[in-house]
Chains A and B, each alone.
Chain A
Amino acid sequence: MTIQTHPEPSSPGPTPTEAPNRVAAGLLDPTMLLTSLPDAARKLDPRVMFHNPVMFVVEIGAVLSTVTVLTGPSAFAWIVVIWLWLTVLFANLAEAVAEGRGKAQAATLRRAKTETVAHLLDGTEVPAPQLKVGDRVVVVAGQVIPGDGDVVEGVASVDESAITGESAPVIRESGGDRSSVTGGTKVLSDRIVVEITAKPGESFIDRMIALVEGASRQKTPNEIALNILLASLTIVFLAATATLQPFAVYAGAEQAVVVLVALLVCLIPTTIGALLSAIGIAGMDRLVQHNVLAMSGRAVEAAGDVDTLLLDKTGTITLGNRQAHELIPVGGGTAESLADAAQLSSLADETPEGRSIVVLTKRGYGLRERSDGELSRMSFVPFTAETRMSGVDLHDQGGDRQIRKGAASAVMKWVRDNGGHPTGEVGQTVDAIAASGGTPLVVAERAGGRARALGVIHLKDVVKSGMRERFDEMRRMGIRTVMITGDNPLTARAIAEEAGVDDFLAEATPEDKMALIRKEQEGGRLVAMTGDGTNDAPALAQADVGVAMNSGTSSAKEAGNMVDLDSNPTKLIEIVEIGKQLLITRGALTTFSIANDVAKYFAIIPAMFGGVYAGLDKLNVMRLDSPESAILSAVIFNALIILALVPLALRGVRYRPSSASEMLGRNLAIYGLGGIVAPFVGIKILDLLVSQIPGIG
C-alpha cells in the first residue's frame, strides 16, 4: 500500500473499472452435455468413483442389479437397471461438464505458454523452461517475457491480455509496486531487465492452468464435512434397505434385489452427491470469470465466512484521485486572483490533483491556458518531499513574483520566512476543510519582497457511486467494513461517514494494518483485505482472505491467496458473494435431496408391500398405476432430477444479500418445501408416461 503523507502526488492507483454489480451467471451450453459424455463414461472406473461415496454405492447397486437381471430377466428389471446406470452416468456428466468448461480456459492459457528463448543479461540464450530463480533476463519490445519475475531495471509497456483478457497495455517499471511481470506476457515498448522469481512449472500461468482444469483440485473443508454427512446418511439408508428383506420375508413379500437397490438409490442423497463436485468446480470457475484467481478452494469458502473487510480508501472507496472542489480566498483577496495564482502554479503539475485545479479554474473562472510567450517567462518549481510545495517563479518586468502551493504547514512557514504575517483566517479555513474530509492546499505568493497567503484550494475525495448501498448490504450480511487510509483521523472520519463504512483506520502504517488484522482474528473474526505493495505482503499473508492486485509486486501476489487480474480492489465484495453462493448452493441442494425422499417412500413402500398388507395401499397417495410403474417412476425421477439441476449447480443458487434468517426462510421454502412437493408432481407425471410401456402398466 502506498501511504500518502502529503497531498500533492497521487498514488498511481489502479484504474477503477466498474465491476459487474452482481455475481454473474455462468450459463450451461447444452452441447457440453454431449461433448462431455466420453469423459463421463471414463469416470465410471470404480477407482475414480470411490472418491464419491454416494455415487459409488449407486454404482455397486447397479452392478449387483445387472448381475441378478442377467440371471432372471424381465422388462421391468431391465429398465430399472438401465436407469440405475444412467443415474451414475448423469452424476459423472455433471462433473465432466464443470471440468470441461475449465479445460477450454486452460487451452487458451496454454497457447500463451509457447516456448520462448530467454536472453540472459550476460548475452547467453537459454530456453525459458531452463531458467532458474535469480536469473536476470533482458526483454525488449516485441518479445515475450520468459518467466515470472520482477523488473529490476527499466520501464516498459506490457500486453497482459494473455492472462487478464484486457487488451490495454499496462506499465511495468523497476522499484515500487508495479514491478512484477508474468511469464507469457508481451513487452510492447522499451527494454526491461527481469529477475526471475518462479521456478519453471510453478509459474503463475502454470498454476492458473492447473486451477481451471481442476487438476490440483482438493476437497475443501466444508465439502469434506458435507461429504461425511452424506456418507453417513448413505450408511443409514443402506441399513434401512438391507434389513428390510428379513422383515419382507416375514411378511410374505420377499423383494427382488433390483427393487431393493432401486429403493436404496432413491433414498440415498444422490442429487447432492452427484452435483457436489460440480458445484465446487463451478464456484472456482465463477471466480475465474470475474478475473480472480483463487490459489485454493479453501480461500473461496473462507471468503463466504468473512466478518471484517479491510478496504483501502484510495481506489476502493474513493476514486483514485482527489479533485479540486472549491477555491476559498483569504485576507480580502478576490477569488479571481486566487484562481489565477492557483492555475499558474498548477500548469506544470501533471498530477491528477494539479490537473483538476486547472480544470476548475477553467470552468469556474474562465481561465485559459497561457500563451507560449507567458510560459517562457516562467520557471516551475517541482514538488519535493523536503519542501512539500510546488510552484512557479515569474520573471516579469515589474519584478519577480513567486507563487507556491502545498501543504498548509509548509506554505505557511514559507510565508513567514519571507516576511509575511498570515492571519488566523487561513488556519480556520484549513481546519474547516480538513474537518469536512477534504484536503486543503494553501496558495501563497511573494511579490515585492513580502509574502502573503492568497487562499486555500479545497481538494475533495470523491466517493465512488453506489458504495453506501454496497456497505449497507454488507452490514445486512453481518460483515463489518473498515476503511484503511493514510489520511489524518479528521479527514478519514468524514470520508468514512460519507461512504457509510462501519469503521476506519487513519494514518495507517503497514504495522497498524497488521495489528488490526491480528486483533480482529483474536476475536475469532475472519478478515479479508486487498493489497498490492511489498509492504502489504505480511498483512496479506495474515488475512484469511488476501486478494493481491495483479498490478502489484510478486511478493504481494505470493502472500495473498487470491489474485485479482483486473487489479480492482472493489472486487473483494464480489468475492465474498461468490463464496457465500457456493455454500448456499450446496446447502440448498442437500436440503432438496433429502426432502425428495418423502415422496419416494410414498411411491415405493406401497408398491413393495401393498400386495400383502392392503392397508399400506392407502399410502399410495399419488395413485400410481402399478407397483412396477411406481418404482420405475421414482428411479427415473431420481436420475432425471440430477440432469435437471446441473445448470443450477453450475450457475449457483441466486444470491441476494440479506440477513441470515431471511435467507434461511427463503431457501427453506424453495428447496425444503419445494423438495418435498416437486417429486410428488414429477413422479406422478412420469408414472402417466411409464404406465404406457407394455408390461409395466
Chain B
Amino acid sequence: MSDTSAGLLQAGALIAALALCYRPLGGYMARALSSEHDLRVERVVYRLVGVDRKADQRWTVYAVSLLGFSLASVVLLYVLQRVQSGLPLSVGLAGVDPALAFNTAASFATNTNWQDYSGEATMGHLTQMAGLAVQNFVSAAVGIAVAVALLRGFTRSSTDRVGNFWVDLTRSVVRILLPLSIVAAVALILMGVVQNLSSGTDVTTLVGGHQTIPGGPAASQEAIKELGTNGGGFYNANSAHPFESPNPLSNFFENFLLLLIPVAFTRTFGILVGDKRQGYAVLAAMGVIWASLVVAVTALEVNLDGSALQAAGAAMEGKETRFGEWASAMFAVSTTGTSTGAVDSFHSSFSGVGGGLLIFNMGLGEVAPGGVGSGLYGILMLAILAVFVAGLMVGRTPEYLGKKITSREMKLVSLNVLTMPVVVLVGTAIAMSFTSTRASMLSGGTPHGLSEVLYAFTSATNNNGSAFAGLSANTTFYNVALGLCMLIGRFVPIVLVLALAGSLARQQSVPRTGGTLATHTPLFVGLLVGVTVIVAGLTFFPVLSLGPLAEGL
C-alpha cells in the first residue's frame, strides 16, 4: 500500500471511529453530568470532603473552590517531587530541584503536561502515579467542570447558581475519565504498551555493553494521557517511544483517544442546551479547522522542496519510520489542536511553514477541537465574539443560545480573548531580549530559533505541553516563566468563563424569533471559523513571519 492510500485510510478510519462514538459517548456524558443520582463511591467522596452535594454554588464560590483545589494540587505536586527520594518506589531517583518542581507542578495541575525533564530519569514511580497520574485525571476533570458550569449559565434563567464544583469534578473523574481510561489502558496493553512496576531491566547488549531498560506503569498513564488531553509522557520520547506506542495501531488508537472526549463533548453540549444542532455547528467549526490543517501540514511534509531532500527522505527526519509522514502529520495536528501535547514525531523537524501551522493551531486558543472541557468553553467564547459581530449586522442586540450578549458579557469575552496572545507574545519577547535566555535555543540566530521559543510559550500558555524540541528549557528562567504562563493561561480564562456563566445564569432567557440569528447554520459555522482564524492570524502573523514563515518561504 502506498503512503498516500495508507494515510487516507487512517484519516477515514479515525473519522469513522469518532463518528461511531459521537452519539453514545456524548449522550452518556450528558446524562452523567446532569444526573440527579449519586453513586455510592461519589457519596463517600462527598462525605470525606465534607460537601453538601445539593448545595449549588454562586460562580464566585465555584471559582474559589476550583482555584483552591488547583492550588492544593500544585503544592502537593511540588512537595511530592521535592521529597521523592525519601518515599517508596523512588527507583533511586533524587528529589527534583525547586524551579523544575514548580514548573512540573504547574504543568500537571493546569492540564498542560509540559515536561522540562526526562520522565524515566527524573520521576519515581510514586511521583508518577500518586502525583502526575492523579493530576492527569483531576486537571482534565476541572476542564469538564468549567464547561458544564458555563452550559448551566446558558440553560439556567434568573439564578445566581452555576452548580457545585465538587460534584462536577467528582463525576467527571468517576463516571467519565476513570471508566474510559480503564478500557483504553487494557486496549493499550493488548497492543503491546508496557505496564509494570519494575525499576528497570539490566541487559547486556550484543556488543557487550550494559544498558538499563526502564519499565513502569506506562499503559495506564498512556490512556489518561490521551483521554484527558494531558500529553505528559512516561518516557522522554513520549508517544514516539516504542514502550508508549509500539506500532501503527497503537499510534492510531492514541490519536483517536486524544480526540475522543473533546469531539463527543460537542454532543453533550448540544444535549445540555437542548438543541443538538448547536453541537453539530460547533463540531463542524472544529472539524473544518482540524481537517484543513491536517491537509495543509501533510501536503507540506510530503512535498518538501528540493530533489536532494526528497531523495534522502529528509522529511522523515524526526519522525518515526513505524508511523510515517501521514500519520505523524495527523497526530501532530490532533495533539496541537487538543491541548494534549503528546507527540509521536518531533515538531521541530516539520517543514518551516508546517511547524508554523502547528504553532498557529495552538495559537487559535486550543479549540480544534481543544482540550477536555476547555476546548468547548474556548470555542464558545469565540462563538460569543462571532455572535456579537454578526448580531450587530442583523440589527439586534446579539444573543447566543437565548442569552443576550451585553457589555458585561463582552467585557469577559474580550478579556479572555486578549489574555492568551498577550501572555504568549510578552513571554516570547522577554525570552528573546536577553543573551542568557537566547542561549537555550538550539538553532540560535536563525528563524528556527525564534520558532523554538515561540512554540514553548504558545504551548505553555495554551496548556498544550508539547515541545518543539531544540529548546533547552530546563533553566530557572524558562521553568519559572513557562510555569507562570501555564498558570495564567489556565486560570485567568477559567475565572472569566465562570464569571460569564454567572452573568448568563442571572439573565432571563429570550425566546427565539425570526429576527434571531440562527447559530446552527453553515453560514454561522463559516463565520465562527473565520473569527477564530482571523483573530489568531492577525495576532500572531508578525511573529510567525519572522519565525516559521521566514524559514519556510
Chain A residues close to B by CB (< 8 Å): 221-222, 224-226, 228-229, 231-233, 235-237, 239-248, 250-251, 263, 267, 301, 304-305, 307, 475-480, 523-525, 579-584, 586-588, 590-591, 594-595, 597-598, 601, 605, 609, 612-613, 615-616, 618-619, 655, 659-661, 663-665, 667-668, 671-672
Is B515 touching A661 in the complex (CB atoms < 8 A)?
Answer: no
The reply to whether B553 and A618 form a contact with Cβ atoms under 8 Å apart is yes
Chain B positions within 8 Å of A, measured between CB atoms, are 385, 388-397, 402, 405-407, 409-411, 414-415, 417-418, 421-422, 425-426, 428-430, 432-433, 438, 447, 449-450, 508-511, 513-518, 521, 523-524, 527, 530, 534, 538-543, 545-547, 549-553
Can you name 20 extra interface pairs (CB under 8 A) apart from A244-B546, A609-B550, A655-B395? A221-B407, A228-B407, A237-B539, A242-B429, A246-B433, A247-B429, A250-B432, A250-B450, A251-B550, A475-B514, A525-B511, A582-B395, A583-B391, A605-B541, A613-B549, A613-B550, A615-B552, A667-B393, A667-B394, A668-B393
Q: Which residues of B contact A221 (CB under 8 A)?
A: 397, 406-407
Contact between B410 and A225 (Cβ–Cβ < 8 Å)?
yes
> Chain B residues with Cβ under 8 A from A304's Cβ?
395-397
What separation, in Å, do the CA atoms of A667 and B524 have in the docked complex? 13
Q: A580-B395, A601-B541, A668-B527 are in contact. Are A660 and B389 (CB under 8 A)?
A: no
What's the least CB distance linking A598 to chain B, in Å?
A: 8
24 A-B residue pairings within 8 Å (CB atoms): A225-B405, A225-B406, A226-B410, A229-B414, A237-B539, A240-B425, A240-B542, A246-B433, A247-B547, A263-B542, A582-B395, A583-B391, A583-B396, A584-B392, A587-B392, A601-B538, A605-B542, A613-B549, A615-B551, A660-B515, A665-B523, A667-B394, A668-B523, A671-B393
CB contact between B394 and one of A232, A475, A523, A584 (< 8 Å): that residue: A584
Q: Which residues of B contact A224 (CB under 8 A)?
A: 407
Which of A242, A480, A579, A668 is in CB contact (< 8 Å) with B395? A579
Which residues in B have their C-beta under 8 angstroms from that of A475? 514
Q: Are B407 and A664 in contact (CB under 8 A)?
A: no
B379 to chain A, nearest CB (A): 18
Closest to B537 in A: A598
With contacts A244-B542, A247-B546, A524-B508 known, is A584 near B397, CB below 8 A? no
A236-B418, A236-B422, A668-B393 known; A615 and B432 CB under 8 Å?
Answer: no
Please tell me if the beta carbons of B514 and A267 are within 8 angstroms of each other in the complex. no
Q: Would B429 and A243 count as touching, CB distance under 8 A?
A: yes
A685–chain B nearest beta-carbon distance, Å: 23
CB-based contact B429/A523 at 8 Å: no
Q: Tell whether, in the assembled complex, residue A247 and residue B543 are in contact, meaning their CB atoms are under 8 Å apart.
A: yes
Within the assembled complex, what's the spacing in Å between the Cα atoms of A334 and B216? 111
Measured between alpha carbons, how far is A301 from B392 in the docked complex, in Å? 11
Structural contact, B513 and A478, CB atoms closer than 8 A: yes
Shortest distance between the CB of B521 and any CB in chain A (Å): 6
Q: Could you say which residues of chain A place their CB within 8 Å of the CB of B543?
A: 240, 243-244, 247
Which residues of chain A are within 8 angstroms of B552 by Cβ–Cβ distance?
615
Which among A247, A477, A594 has the highest number of chain B CB atoms within 10 Å?
A: A247
CB nearest neighbor in A for B391: A587
- Which residue from chain A places its CB closest to the CB of B427 in the assembled complex? A243
Q: Are B513 and A246 in contact (CB under 8 A)?
A: no
Chain B nearest CB: distance from A681 CB in Å? Answer: 20
B12 to chain A, nearest CB (A): 32
Contact in complex: B517, A661 (CB < 8 Å):
yes
Find out whether the CB atom of A663 lies under 8 angstroms from the CB atom of B393: yes
B432 touches A247 (CB 8 A): yes
- Contact A225 B407, CB 8 Å, known A480-B513, A664-B390: yes
Nearest chain A residue, comparing its CB with the CB of B396: A305
Q: How far is the CB of B525 from chain A (nearest CB, A)?
A: 12
Given contacts A243-B425, A613-B546, contact A307 B515 (CB under 8 A): yes
Measured CA separation A228–B406 after assembly (Å): 11
Partner of B553, one of A619, A659, A667: A619
Q: Contacting A660 at CB < 8 Å: which of B426, B449, B517, B547?
A: B517
Contact A525–B550 (Cβ < 8 Å):
no
Assembled-state Cα–Cα distance A473/B396 (Å):
16
Of B388, B390, B393, which contacts A229 at CB under 8 A?
B388
Asked if B450 contacts A247 (CB within 8 A), the reply is yes
Residues of A within 8 A of B540 (CB): 240
Please, which residues of chain A bring their CB within 8 A of the CB of B553? 613, 615-616, 618-619
Picked from A246, A250, A523, A660, the residue with its CB within 8 Å of the CB of B518 is: A660
Residue among A236, A307, A598 with max Cβ neighbours from chain B (10 Å): A236
Complex Cα distance A251/B449, Å?
10
Least distance between B279 CB and chain A CB atoms (Å): 19
Across the interface, name the chain A residue whose C-beta is closest to B517. Answer: A660
Measured between beta carbons, the chain A residues less than 8 angstroms from B510 are: 307, 524-525
- With beta carbons under 8 angstroms apart, the residue of B390, B406, B450, B549 that contacts A587 is B390
Contact A661 B414 (CB under 8 A): no
Q: Give the complex CA separation of A248 and B411 in angstroms.
A: 32
Contact of A239 among B422, B433, B521, B524 (CB under 8 A): B422
Partner of A248, one of B389, B524, B546: B546
State whether B410 touches A235 (Cβ < 8 A).
no
A81 to chain B, nearest CB (A): 22
Cβ 8 A contact of B397, one of A236, A301, A590, A612? A301
Q: Are A659 and B514 touching (Cβ within 8 A)?
A: yes
Measured between beta carbons, the chain A residues less than 8 angstroms from B393 are 584, 587-588, 591, 663-664, 667-668, 671
Q: Which residues of B contact A246 (CB under 8 A)?
A: 429-430, 432-433
Chain A: CB-nearest residue to B423: A239
B517-A664 in contact (CB<8A): yes
CB of A136, distance to nearest CB on chain B (Å): 45
Interface contact A250-B425, CB-CB below 8 Å: no
- Neighbouring A residues of B545 by C-beta, 8 Å: 605, 609, 616, 619
Contacts of B447 in A (CB 8 A): 251, 613
Contacts of A480 in B (CB 8 A): 513
Q: Are B429 and A616 touching (Cβ within 8 A)?
A: no
CB distance from A612 to the nearest CB of B (A): 8
Find out whether the CB atom of A477 lies under 8 angstroms from the CB atom of B515. yes
Q: A623 to chain B: closest CB distance in Å? A: 16
Closest chain A residue, CB of each to CB of B425: A243
Complex formed: what's the CA distance from A618 to B550 in Å?
A: 10
Q: Which has the most chain B C-beta neighbours within 10 Å: A263, A619, A661, A667?
A: A661
Q: Which single member of A479, A612, A619, A671 contacts B513 (CB below 8 Å)?
A: A479
Most interface-central of A225, A240, A601 (chain B CB within 10 A) = A225
Instruction: Give every chain B residue within 8 A of A619 (Cβ-Cβ).
Output: 545, 549, 553
Residues of chain B contacted by A247 (CB below 8 angstroms): 428-429, 432, 450, 542-543, 546-547
A597 to B509, alpha carbons, bound, how many Å? 36
Q: Which residue of A lies closest to B512 (CB)?
A: A478
Q: Is the CB of B514 within 8 A of A477?
A: yes
Complex CA gap A352/B396 in Å reads: 42
Residue of A nearest to B549 (CB): A616
Judge whether B418 and A235 touch: CB under 8 Å.
yes
B contact residues around A240 at 8 Å (CB): 421, 425, 538-543
| A228 B527 Cβ-Cβ under 8 A | no
What is the distance, in angstroms, from A140's C-beta to the closest C-beta of chain B?
49
Q: Which one of A229, A245, A590 has the greatest number of beta carbons of chain B within 10 Å? A: A229
Chain A residues within an 8 Å CB radius of B538 = 236-237, 240, 267, 594, 597-598, 601
A243 — which chain B residues lie within 8 A by C-beta?
A: 425-426, 428-429, 543
